[in-house]
Amino acid sequence: SLSGKTAIITGSTSGIGLGIARALAGQGADIVVNSFSDSQEDHGIAEGIASEFGVKARYVQADMSKADQCRALVETAGACDILVNNAGIQHVAAIDEFPVEKWDAIIAINMSSAFHTTAVALPMMRKAGWGRVINVASAHGLTASPYKSAYVTAKHGIVGMTKVVALETAEEPITANAICPGYVHTPLVEAQIPDTMKKYDLSREDALRDVILQRQPSKQFATVEQIGGVASFLCSAAAEQITGTTISVDGGWTAL
Ligand code: NAD
């Protein structure tokens, strides 16, 4: 059980981050929910987790594109036994047309934020005598696609950073690993289905199989519950010697 442990999950008001927050709450961890928006709905998500799982949960606003806010998130939480660096955005464009501000935002949110949160969280983990750093990378942390230069760069970068954190904590009861999902059924991906159907004049089933899941051999999405399950496993005693590595949840994508 993760009872008495505090988990901070960046970008956890929707999708994978929320799935991981719910899975860790299900194991008894107290939860810090984060996003940049600070809406009533955001606070409601934390309240919902607290009442559903009987844990402490609160929402802390912080923009993961800003170094000082990344650091303040962990400081405000006051404890961090489990750090899940999940916040991430995407932009698709050819490299010679890629907007500089999109490049900067993706590098900051998808990669540098994890450097800042980890820097503040590690001393807390050392003091507590236990810690887990879980970085949500991607199949794009291990392989590339055209038109995703910033995303692929940031995700490869965070896989590298994961290895460094693992080596710097190797003799301590702290591990650092990256989860590498393929396509996961999140609201973000669901929203792309109607456009894809229209663009290629395909049924929902064909759009999923031939376009969206083209590179996922299983032809099925991973679910946020499955990603949450992997995060829970990385916090379990069975995973104590798993550090500095990646766990793919991609239906065979990176086996291709
Ligand atoms: P999502 O859009 O559903 O959730 C992203 C979350 O990040 C939201 O809570 C959003 O509020 C938050 N966020 C965005 N910008 C932020 C900022 N500047 N500061 C703080 N929070 C911010 O996306 P998702 O699909 O759940 O993706 C989550 C992570 O998983 C990302 O790192 C993404 O790259 C990775 N991932 C997703 C998939 C997929 O198929 N969905 C596959 C591989 C990896």
Write the CATH number for 72.
Answer: 3.40.50.720
**Coil/strand/helix, residue 22:** helix
Ligand 1 and 14: CB distance under 6 A? yes
Whole-number average pLDDT of the chain: 97
Q: For the residues 7-15, what does the mean pLDDT come to?
A: 98
| Cβ atoms 58, 8 nearer than 8 A | no
pLDDT bucket at 214, cuts 50 / 70 / 90: very high
Q: pLDDT per residue over 91-119, tens digit each?
A: 999 999 999 999 999 999 999 999 999 99
Dihedral (Cα; 26, 119, 40, 136), 10-degree rounding: -50
Do 166 and 246 fall into the same domain? Answer: yes
- Output the CA 200–ligand 1 centroid distance in Å: 26
The model scores a pTM over 0.90: yes
Q: In 10 A of CB 129, how many CB atoms?
A: 10
Same-domain check for residues 103 and 165: yes
Number of folded domains that form the chain: 2
Query: What is the DSSP annotation of 49-60?
Result: HHHHHTS-EEEE
What is this model's ipTM?
Answer: 0.99
* Residue of 59, 147, 151, 200 marked active site: 151
Closest C-alpha to ligand 1, atom 44: 138
In this predicted structure, what is the pLDDT of residue 55?
98
Domain annotation covers residue 63: yes
175 CA to centre of ligand 1 in angstroms: 23
Residues 16 and 88: their CA atoms lie apart, in Å, by: 10
Provide the pLDDT for residue 191: 83
Express as a percent the part of the chain with pLDDT over 90.
96
CB neighbours of residue 254 within 10 Å? 16
Shared domain for 136 and 176, answered yes or no, is yes
Shared domain for 31 and 158, answered yes or no, is yes
pLDDT score, position 187: 83
- Mean pLDDT in residue range 128-152: 97
Q: Both 150 and 204 in a single domain? A: no
Residue 233's pLDDT is: 98
Give the model's pLDDT for residue 162: 99
Identify whether residues 244 and 118 lie together within a single domain. Answer: yes
pLDDT, residue 29, reads 98
- Give catalytic status of residue 200 as yes or no: no
Whether 13 and 56 map to the same domain: the answer is yes
Q: Are residues 179 and 197 in the same domain?
A: no
Say yes or no: 145 and 193 in one domain.
no
> Are 191 and 67 found together in one domain?
no
Question: Is pLDDT above 90 for 75?
Answer: yes
Whether 224 has a pLDDT exceeding 90, the answer reads: yes
Read off the pLDDT of each residue in 38-59 and give the average, rounded to a whole number: 98
Q: How far is the CA of 109 from the centre of ligand 1 (A)?
A: 9
Q: Looking at the predicted structure, is the pLDDT value of residue 189 above 90?
A: no
Specify whether 44 is located in the same domain as 159.
Answer: yes
Cα distance between residue 6 and residue 124, in whole Å:
11
Whole-number pLDDT of residue 192: 83
- Residue located nearest, by CA, to atom 20 of ligand 1: 35
In a domain, 102, yes or no: yes
Q: Judge if 64 and 26 occupy the same domain.
A: yes
Q: If you take atom 34 of ligand 1, which residue's CA is the nearest one? A: 88
Lowest mean pLDDT among 20-34, 72-86, 154-168, 180-194: 180-194
Centre of ligand 1 to C-alpha 79, Å, is 23
Question: What is the extent of the structural domain holding 20?
Answer: 6-184+222-255
